[in-house]
Amino acid sequence: MINDLWYKNAVIYCLSVGTYMDANGDGIGDFTGLLRRLDYLQGLGVTAIWLMPFQVSPHRDDGYDVADYYGVDPRYGTLGDFVEFTHGAEQRGIRVLIDLVINHTSNEHKWFQEARKDPQSKYRDWYVWSKKKPSGINQGMVFPGVQKSTWSYDEEARAWYFHRFYEFQPDLNTSNPEVQAEILKIMGFWLQLGVSGFRMDAVPFIIATKGPDVRQPEEQYDMLRTFREFLQWRRGDCIALAEANVLPDTDLEYFGRDGGRMHMMFNFQVNQNLFYALAAADTRPLAKALKATKPRPTTAQWGLFLRNHDELDLGRLTEEERQTVFAAFGPEPDMQLYERGIRRRLAPMLGGDQRRLELAYSLMFTLPGTPVIRYGDEIGMGDNLKLPERNCARTPMQWSNEPHGGFTKSGKPVLPVIGGGPYGYEHINAAIQRRHPESLLNWTERIIRMRKEVPEVGWGDFTVVPARDPAVLVMRYDWRNNSVLFVHNLDAKPREVTFAVGLDGDNAEEGKLLINLLAEDHSRAGDDGKHRLVIEGYGYRWYRVGGLDYLLRRSEIDQPPVRI
Ligand code: NOJ
Ligand code: CA
């Protein structure tokens, strides 16, 4: 296969326009500000931006409550500003993915307003209603502890409506063909304005059957094929990236066994086990999660992330594992959220220790898939636990040590910029870190640069190489007659590991030499063919197997012909 599926080896950066850069001085980030920061992003080396929702919204769930799918919220600018931005991104070779939030609308959306007012309206059946109070309304909440129920009574409609999320987010009746047609129209609209695809919000809920009599919702997976076919037909290089926190045994239903459904999915299984691995210095459950999520069609890709704009959801770990992660990274009640997760940013969870942050990022960049970075994590931004729920990790980007971190000239930013203390903008900002070669920002830039030159991770086949030490993860990737190998020590203490690269046939010889891509200490195998490595606490190594002539050896096809 020709390797032009861009998302297989991309570096995605997610940001919220409202907290990135405020150009017009009203305290809220906007598209003009973001446009001006595109050179920063290009310099960092990211190849795609995932924009959180920016459509018209009352903002009761940070824009995940859309009131008009066909417009930019005026606080962020105009459609004209949006197109200037996508054009600026394209000029710099950066693709734009946008959130597609179509499981539900805002209750202020005119469809819902029509639907509640008039039972004869065509919009009535766009939502999910019940005349009688459905049973089990206190079950299946996504935000337990904050959200009270999944059904609410609407006085005006004189009926109950279903909402998987907050009560101001009525679920769309996604089984209704008219709703499905409208979803395609929304996709078509933004594709025409220059986006390269969608991060699809809440996919398992979009495709689930909904209704007062539905006890056990069933997934209508083939709906995903309809979305995929439409966007691929409109623009051949567009993708759908699904948010679906599901168990590995349904992964192939989402990707499609023939690769005909979602191009990408976030790997929540690996995410949670990765945090457990960091907390316990035990990589065994992570290795298990990697194996469980290994099967996927060649055209499909995982999105790998550490933190995002939501809480770190630990719901799929065992109780014991979850408690281990809580104890290490979120021991206080106000650090935890929704009875299952941690709402902090990455840097404070790891004690602001750069070695540990590098280790975590190095792992993320070398696990099978495409890395997704959260804005601000490249400079190690902190959180503000005084802000409610997930807002604590959504504070404005810290650009400099000027007032409000250089985010705005207004005295009243949309959310307070973190100031004072170890994570305050006075010390943690992009401008200062630009000047220090060893800063996290410059490290991130270098690691992204290197990651792009290691397409084996995005395209290749991986093997977890036995190292007989649970604190150390050794992984090898093979692709087109090239191999790379990564070693990560998740423990604070140094470790000594012994391993065989594990290549056979013609390549066994190559396996005796490992060239370190990030430093001078290369590794030569002993007479027994094994590498012996002393690796410092939280250390990481990126090796090319065999030597730096790899591009001269690379084959043009995935499976080199069998040599006789
Ligand atoms: C998932 C999003 O990531 C989250 O932020 C949002 O609250 C829910 N979906 C509802 O749209
Ligand atoms: Ca503004």
User: Residue 455's CB: how many other CB atoms inside 10 A?
Assistant: 18
Is the pLDDT at 550 greater than 50? The verdict is: yes
The Å distance, Cα 396 to ligand 2 centre, comes to: 12
Nearest atom within ligand 1 for CA of residue 64: 11
User: Residue 169's CB: how many other CB atoms inside 10 A?
Assistant: 25
Specify the pLDDT at position 361: 98
The Å distance, Cα 310 to ligand 1 centre, comes to: 7
Specify the pLDDT at position 1: 64
Ligand in closest contact with the CA of 414: 2
What tens digit of pLDDT does each residue of 196-223 get?
999 999 999 999 999 999 989 999 999 9
Is 201 close to ligand 1, i.e. is its CB under 6 Å away?
yes
Is 311 close to ligand 1, i.e. is its CB under 6 Å away?
no
Clarify whether 243 is annotated catalytic.
yes
Angle between helices 177-192 and 222-234 (to 10 degrees): 30
Is the pLDDT at 106 greater than 60? The verdict is: yes
Is the pLDDT at 422 greater than 90? The verdict is: yes
Nearest atom within ligand 1 for CA of residue 308: 3
What CA–CA distance (Å, rounded) separates 271 from 264?
15
What tens digit of pLDDT does each residue of 475-522 get?
999 999 999 999 999 999 999 999 999 998 878 999 999 999 999 999
Ligand in closest contact with the CA of 413: 2
Is the pLDDT at 562 greater than 90? The verdict is: no
* Closest CA to ligand 1's atom 10: 64
% of the chain beyond a pLDDT of 90: 96
Q: Exposure of 442 by Cβ count < 10 A (0-12 exposed, 13-18 middle, 19+ buried)?
A: middle
Specify the pLDDT at position 563: 47
Span 237-263, mean pLDDT?
A: 97
Ligand in closest contact with the CA of 77: 2
- Write phi, then psi, for 510 (nearest 5 degrees): -60, -35
| pLDDT, the chain, mean | 96
- In the numeric block, the tokens 């998740």 are attached to 490
How many secondary structure helices (H) and strands (E) does the chain include?
17, 24
Clarify whether 201 is annotated catalytic.
yes
Specify the pLDDT at position 84: 98
Is the pLDDT at 63 greater than 70? The verdict is: yes
The Å distance, Cα 24 to ligand 1 centre, comes to: 28
Is the pLDDT at 280 greater than 80? The verdict is: yes
Is 76 close to ligand 1, i.e. is its CB under 6 Å away?
no
Is 102 close to ligand 1, i.e. is its CB under 6 Å away?
no
The Å distance, Cα 106 to ligand 2 centre, comes to: 23
Specify the pLDDT at position 58: 98
Instruction: Please choose, from the candidates 453, 480, 477, the residue with its C-alpha nearest in 3D space to the C-alpha of residue 465.
Output: 477
Q: Which helix (H) or strand (E) holds 532?
A: strand 531-535
Q: Which residues of 396-434 are buried (b: 16+ CB within 10 A; e: fewer)?
A: bbbbbbeebbbbbeeeebbbebbbeeebbbbebbbbbbb
* Closest CA to ligand 1's atom 4: 310
pTM of the predicted structure, to 2 decimals: 0.97
Is 310 close to ligand 1, i.e. is its CB under 6 Å away?
yes
Q: Read off the pLDDT band of 21 (50, 70, 90).
A: very high
Nearest atom within ligand 1 for CA of residue 143: 7
Span 71-92, mean pLDDT?
A: 98
- Which residues fall inside 5 Å of ion ligand 2, going by CB? 22, 24, 26, 28, 30
Q: Read off the pLDDT band of 564 (50, 70, 90).
A: very low
Instruction: Please choose, from the candidates 501, 488, 500, 499, the residue with its C-alpha nearest in 3D space to the C-alpha of residue 545.
Output: 501
Is 11 close to ligand 1, i.e. is its CB under 6 Å away?
no
Ligand in closest contact with the CA of 409: 2
End-to-end, the C-alpha distance of the chain in Å comes to: 24
State the catalytic residue, choosing from 62, 201, 358, 491.
201
